[in-house]
Amino acid sequence: MSYERRLSHYLDLLTVLFLKEMKVRYKSTTLGYLWSVLHPLAFAFVFFIAFKVVMRVQMEDYGLFLITGLFPWQWFANSVGLSPLIFLSNASIIKKIRFPTNILPLTTVLQDMVHFVLSLPVIVGFMLFYGKSPGIAWLYGIPILLAAQVLLTYGIALIISSLNLFFRDLERLTGIALTLLFYFTPVVYSETMIPEKYRYLVYLNPVAPLMISWRNLLLNGGLDPRLAAACVVHGLLFFAAGTAVYNKLSWKFGEAV
């Protein structure tokens, strides 16, 4: 089969699986897409009460600050949180049909990406409420960060979904790791609030530059080239690592699921 035919086959399969997962996710739900918006808004409300009202954090437009961090975080957390069960929940397909199974985690990541993109008008609405408006940098910044987050999230999801077939405790460890990572990532607080002598530790977290870049872009209309480059590099590294783990283990998937 030629490269063009394989690519066309891969894209067709990706489309079919994407549409199937969308139908499954929203089957028998009344609010549908609104759940993906209400979830981060609910968390934003809780953190706003806790930090702004109770603890009286001195930060301008803190409500908007929370929203611009929690929406991209939700995409990452949802995709990675579901990753341990991706291959297990598709065991019947994997056993019966021969196809590139690495497309399954990609389907989940792209599905959550679509939800994030569809939530951008909600963010714009809050920006207008706070007297702000989208910047010209959105035209090139959003595609760059979308690509970087797809690579990073897909790489991590591919590693976890592959390893979880052989180490089932990874499912619970992933939930714990995501909770810890949330608080070690500047999502509900600014990286400038960290003492300068410890601030470099934040950037050892591969998710941190991505969340900071999203907030700077959405909130301030700017994109730091160095942070954007770090996002892309982290994405490529995790994509390569995920592909390597998958290639090493995928031949055993039929027996493990």
- 144-175 pLDDT per residue, tens: 999 999 999 999 999 999 999 998 889 899 99
Residues 35-89: tens digit of each pLDDT: 667 778 887 888 888 777 777 777 788 889 999 999 999 999 999 999 999 988 8
pLDDT digits (tens, 9 = 90+) for 214-233: 999 999 889 999 999 999 99
C-alpha distances in angstroms, 86 versus 30, 91, 109, 216, 225? 25, 9, 11, 32, 34
Domains of the chain, residue spans: 3-256
pLDDT over 70 (residue 128)? yes
Largest CA distance in the chain: 63
32 phi/psi in degrees, rounded to 5: 55, -120
Alpha helices (H) in 130-196, listed in sequence order: 138-164, 170-184
67 close to 215: Cβ distance less than 8 angstroms: no
